[in-house]
Amino acid sequence: MNPLAGLLSERLSKAQVVDGFETEPWAVCGRLPQAVVFPESEAQVAEILSLSSEEGWRCVPAGRGSWLHGGQPPQAVDVLLSAKRMSDISEYEPADMFISAQAGAGLDALERRTNEEGQWLAVDPPGGERGTLGAMLAVGTAGPLQAGFGSPRDQVLGATIVSGDGQVLNLGGKVVKNVAGFDLLKLVAGSWGTLGMITSVTMRLYPVPATDRTLLFKESEAADGANLACRLAQTPFPLAAVELLVPGDGESGGGAPSPLVAVRILESTDAVDEAERVVSECAGMPPVQRLGGEQSAAIFDNVRAMEDGAELVLRLSLLPTRLPELIETTSQLRGLYDPSEGWGMRLAGHAQTGVLRVMIAVVGRSDDWVDRAKTTLGVLRRSLEAEGGSLVVSQGPPEIVGAVSAWGALGPAALFTSGIQAALDPAGILNRGTSPQ
Amino acid sequence: MENILPEPLTKELRDRLRGVVGDAWVIVDADRLLAYESDGLTAYRRTPRAVVLPRNTDEVSRVLGILSQEAVPVVPRGAGTGLSGGALADGDAVVVGTARMTDLLELDPENRLARVQPGMINAHLTTAAEPFGLYYAPDPSSQSACTLGGNVAENSGGPHCLKYGVTSRYVTGLKVVTYDGKVVDLGGFGREPGGYDLVGVFVGSEGCFGIATEIEVRLLPKSEAVCTLLAIFDRLGDAGSAVTEIMAEGLMPAALEIIDGPTIRAVEASVFAAGFPTDAEAALVVEFDGIEAGLAADVERAVACCREAGAREVRTADSTEERLAFWQGRKKAFGAMGQIASDLLVQDATVPRSQLTGVLGRISEIGARHDLTIANVFHAGDGNLHPNLLFDRSDAEELARVERASKEIMAVCVEAGGTITGEHGVGLDKRHYMSLVHGPEELDAMRRIKAVFDPHGRMNPGKVLPDPPESAGVAV
């Protein structure tokens, strides 16, 4: 064992620390940690983080490791802490409609357990069910259901984190309405492990809706699809999701890819029938397909999995009515990849929130590929920011993310961001995605 | 609390402030300052040194710039309807009010967004959005008077938060002014640049981080249909069981509100009489909204739940008038109580829903032991209790009993897995209860985050956080 791993295994146990080639699956944006540890309790997490703060070891908290290739690359990784072995469901009272579990609990396990009681976690972040509860909150990304149910930050009731300096902080609670003090829990959602390691989470649950139906509408051009999605998003009915899906260049059998608009309705059966009528009327066409129950859920599982196998994933955003413009801007990205490689470029737009996910299967690597990506993404980011929008590089080759930065400009708010980080991680050991530039 | 008259502003400072906002908008006369000596929690009174009423972001920034140069503490204030003493000017503070900042800056119906000044009254936003078929969802009971800026400060709730969530779910962007007068934009819809959720942490910061001078909120399309039912019970516990049954059925009502026997009798004896039977021990208001086609079936299932739980009578509102009458009993409850007692302490705490019946029993036991009348009106669906303690302020001994009973009620709620405030905030009133729910580490983390926004500790000082341990016992 290397000296650092050796010191850690003295504190924990040998079986809880790995180093050398065993750290390979845990590379963070291409950087190998010196040691990977698997704490089994909050107290152990606190011990490792306070020791690391004293020693100046740079740490990255993780769950099962699904998101290690995403976000801003850290300056260095000495210790990676995985919550994998902290996966118990600690409290589940169906009548109170919340579930508390350790951070390493899988979203799949929580889904199974809550479904047994006719309840569910109404979150659908990218990446499907293979991630952990803690990672879902740390990344904080919402999926298509954001419009109907809110993002993870709206549905988390409480969390325990161990801050960078090893303090165990119980934030929030178990009830929806809670204003006892400053809402530090909000800071945890989307913090990418830069404030501390999440050790347990309490989430709000919803009753499984009586009917789950997805209507698929087809257009021939991406621009028409975007216009249709915008129109449907303005239906005054409670639609759970309105998603524009543009398949990759390599997924359309030669011709231009035909976009689909998927409208998901989660209501009582009578209400779903009525919503279907109104939505179809608004679309001016009948759906090409109606999917019920498991099939409806399955198509949205596919939407979550769309980033799988993508080398570069971007999130572009503007106000929802400007989704057609966002679609148009993606033509600027054509120079970054060869459409004949893999499936090319896929698009998925949340029509109610104005977020467009761009997925590129394989980034072209001619001589000046990094510079070209830097210029293209920089120009696009600046033009979106000038219009009140943003561009985030959710994942990509470390060379590109390093060159353009995952996050966009924060302006004067950056002052608060760095202050908050220093408040909870005074030694600056949690350096992943540090202070968006 | 004794009301000590504060030291007046120097003429020089007064003139500088008048130079920014105009002569009429710096209030220093003792009789006019009286209107600002308390908020909705009238047990505490403190006269501010002065009240400044700026008109826009620029004026707020200049006013705070001047006050911070002189190290004068600042207390932001909306309509003063808060129930935790959060808008009270402690010590030598100056109140900066938003009463003149009432503009609707932008309404974008297609993107379902509005941008407002903080002094705009909550209900006025819904009125403005109505022609577009939209509304603003959070609906605190004081919505016809309270301001959106106050709602942001308190992260306000309301009866319909059960289905729709509280203020923080609707605020997408803020323009804030910090104590030193710096203007900073946070968040914004259609924008997710990464970084921490600064809007999220600012909402609910009770004026301790800065003053929000522009607020961007999401609007919702109005529901196609609404259906309300009223169930009458002979036992409060049975109403609680009905709530559990309805939620266990997988129904998602927009609101689930309980009014207990003492409250029913107060309402019926007042000008707000809603026609509730005065011998009942609980009235449960259940409201569903959404697509018309599905509502009738949901209502039927809820009616069945109420009957099964022992409701002696269930009425369904067939007209808007009838629906409003059901709500009258709920929304006017506080006003009605004012007619049976000279003073009223509206308590606020949340418990997990399954604990409601047990906790209500213990509250009634606490009331009996302290010989106090406690009337309950509450958001049963999300376990948000409002025990109302009736008293007479001139009776010091009774006031002391009210304080003891309040503290015991808080402890009972925390013990049941709940918290000390669900929607009214901590303010001045509950900062000494904070240690019931938070350990020293959490309180210290909150102090550190507050210092990021307000390093000098002069934005709404003496609120939310208890004094740090090292200064315990030292007068502030």
Instruction: Over range B151-180, report the average pLDDT.
Output: 95
Do residues B315 and B390 share a domain? no
Answer whether residue A359 is part of any domain: yes
Do residues B54 and B156 share a domain? no
Structure tokens at B32: 């006019």
Answer whether residue A379 is part of any domain: no
Do residues A199 and A282 share a domain? no
CATH code of B88's domain: 3.30.43.10
Answer whether residue B1 is part of any domain: no
Residues of A in contact with B185 (CB under 8 A): 411-413
- Give the residue numbers spanning the domain of B231: 223-334
- Quick: pLDDT tens for A138-161: 999 999 999 889 999 999 999 999
Do residues A142 and A201 share a domain? yes
Q: Residue B3 above 70 pLDDT?
A: no
Answer whether residue B391 is part of any domain: yes
Tell me what pLDDT residue B471 has: 54
Q: Long-range contact list for B30-39, CB < 8 A, 24+ apart?
A: B30/B5, B36/B77, B36/B80, B36/B89, B36/B95, B36/B97, B37/B3, B38/B80, B38/B85, B38/B88, B39/B77, B39/B80, B39/B81, B39/B82, B39/B83, B39/B85, B39/B86, B39/B87, B39/B88
Q: CA B317 to CA B450: how far, in whole Å?
A: 47
Residue B34 near chain A (CB below 8 Å) = no
Do residues A166 and A39 share a domain? no
Q: CA A107 to CA B453: how far, in whole Å?
A: 35
Q: CA B78 to CA B143: how far, in whole Å?
A: 12
pLDDT classification of B1: cutoffs 50, 70, 90:
very low
Percent of chain B scoring above 70 in pLDDT: 97
How many domains is chain A built from?
3
Do residues A63 and A126 share a domain? no
Considering only CB atoms, B190 lies closest to which of A238, A268, A354, namely: A354
What percent of the residues of chain B are helix, what percent strand, and what percent coil, each to the nearest 5?
40, 20, 40
Do residues B91 and B148 share a domain? no
H-only helix segments in A330-413: 369-386, 398-404
CB contact under 8 A, B110 and A321: yes
Last residue of a domain, one of B276, B305, B334: B334
Cα of first residue to Cα of last residue in chain A, in angstroms, is: 37
CATH code of A269's domain: 3.40.462
Do residues B217 and B112 share a domain? yes
Answer whether residue A116 is part of any domain: yes
pLDDT classification of A88: cutoffs 50, 70, 90:
very high
Answer whether residue A416 is part of any domain: no
Do residues A127 and A229 share a domain? no
Do residues A269 and A225 share a domain? yes
Tell me what pLDDT residue B88 has: 93
Complete DSSP assignment for A73-131 = PPS--SEEEE-TT---EEEEEGGGTEEEEETT-BHHHHHHHHHTTTEE-----TTGGGS
Do residues B235 and B315 share a domain? yes
Do residues B182 and B110 share a domain? yes
How many domains is chain B built from?
5
Three-state secondary structure call for residue A199:
strand
Q: CA A111 to CA A206: how far, in whole Å?
A: 12
Please check whether residue A261 is in contact with residue A244, taking contact to mean a CB–CB distance below 8 angstroms: yes
Angle between helices B292-308 and B236-248 (to 10 degrees): 140
User: Any idea which residue has 């710039």 for tokens?
Assistant: B65
Last residue of a domain, one of A55, A82, A109: A82
B131/chain A closest Cα distance in angstroms: 13
State which residue of chain A sits closest to B452, comparing Cα positions: A419
Do residues B363 and B272 share a domain? no
- Give the residue numbers spanning the domain of A118: 89-207
Answer whether residue A97 is part of any domain: yes
Answer whether residue B299 is part of any domain: yes
* A84-116 b/e (C-beta count within 10 Å ≥ 16 → b): bbbbeeeebbbebbbbbbbbbbbbebbeebbee
* B55-81 b/e (C-beta count within 10 Å ≥ 16 → b): bebebbbbbbbbbbeeebbbbbbbbbb
Q: How many other CB atoms sit within 10 Å of the CB of residue B366?
A: 21
Quick one: how many helices (H) and strands (E) in chain A? 14, 19
Answer whether residue B369 is part of any domain: yes
Do residues A119 and A202 share a domain? yes
CB contact under 8 A, B193 and A388: no
- Quick: pLDDT tens for B132-146: 999 999 999 899 999
Last residue of a domain, one of A346, A364, A382: A364
Q: CA B37 to CA B44: how far, in whole Å?
A: 8
Last residue of a domain, one of B221, B238, B267: B221
Please check whether residue A125 is in contact with residue A146, taking contact to mean a CB–CB distance below 8 angstroms: no
Do residues B239 and B302 share a domain? yes
Q: CA B416 to CA B413: how far, in whole Å?
A: 5
Burial of B459 (0-12, 13-18, 19+ CB in 10 A): buried
Do residues A351 and A266 share a domain? yes
Considering only CB atoms, B422 lies closest to which of A177, A271, A319, namely: A177
Do residues A163 and A308 share a domain? no
Answer whether residue A21 is part of any domain: yes
Tell me what pLDDT residue B475 has: 39
Answer whether residue A269 is part of any domain: yes
Answer whether residue B122 is part of any domain: yes
Residues of B in contact with A353 (CB under 8 A): 190
Residue B352 near chain A (CB below 8 Å) = yes
Do residues A254 and A198 share a domain? no
pLDDT classification of A194: cutoffs 50, 70, 90:
very high
Percent of chain A scoring above 70 in pLDDT: 98
Residue B374 near chain A (CB below 8 Å) = no
Do residues B133 and B215 share a domain? yes
Answer whether residue B2 is part of any domain: no
- Quick: pLDDT tens for A257-309: 789 999 999 999 999 999 999 999 999 999 999 999 899 999 999 999 999 88
Tell me what pLDDT residue B473 has: 45
Q: CA B98 to CA B153: how far, in whole Å?
A: 12
Q: CA A14 to CA A47: how far, in whole Å?
A: 16
Do residues B461 and B418 share a domain? no
What is the interface pTM, i.e. ipTM, of the complex? 0.96
**Chain B contact probe: residue of A50, A177, A322, A405 with most B CBs at under 10 A:** A177
CB contact under 8 A, A392 and B221: no
CB contact under 8 A, A176 and B161: yes
pLDDT classification of B2: cutoffs 50, 70, 90:
low
Last residue of a domain, one of B278, B310, B334: B334
Answer whether residue B5 is part of any domain: no
Last residue of a domain, one of A326, A341, A364: A364
Do residues A247 and A339 share a domain? yes
Do residues B300 and B404 share a domain? no
Q: CA A59 to CA A428: how far, in whole Å?
A: 9
Do residues A29 and A116 share a domain? no
- Quick: pLDDT tens for B36-59: 999 988 878 889 999 999 999 999
Ramachandran region of residue A128, left (φ > 0), alpha (ψ -120 to 50) or beta? left
CB contact under 8 A, A423 and B451: yes
Give the containing element (helix H, strand E) for A270: helix A269-283
Answer whether residue B362 is part of any domain: yes
Q: Structure pTM?
A: 0.96
CATH code of A101's domain: 3.30.465.10
Answer whether residue A396 is part of any domain: no
Q: CA B391 to CA B398: how far, in whole Å?
A: 7
Do residues B175 and B110 share a domain? yes
Query: Number of A:B CB contacts under 8 A?
Result: 262
Q: CA B109 to CA B124: how far, in whole Å?
A: 16
Please check whether residue B305 is in contact with residue B241, taking contact to mean a CB–CB distance below 8 angstroms: no
Our measurement of the distance from residue B422's CA atom to the centroid of its chain's CA atoms, rounded to an integer in Å, reads: 8
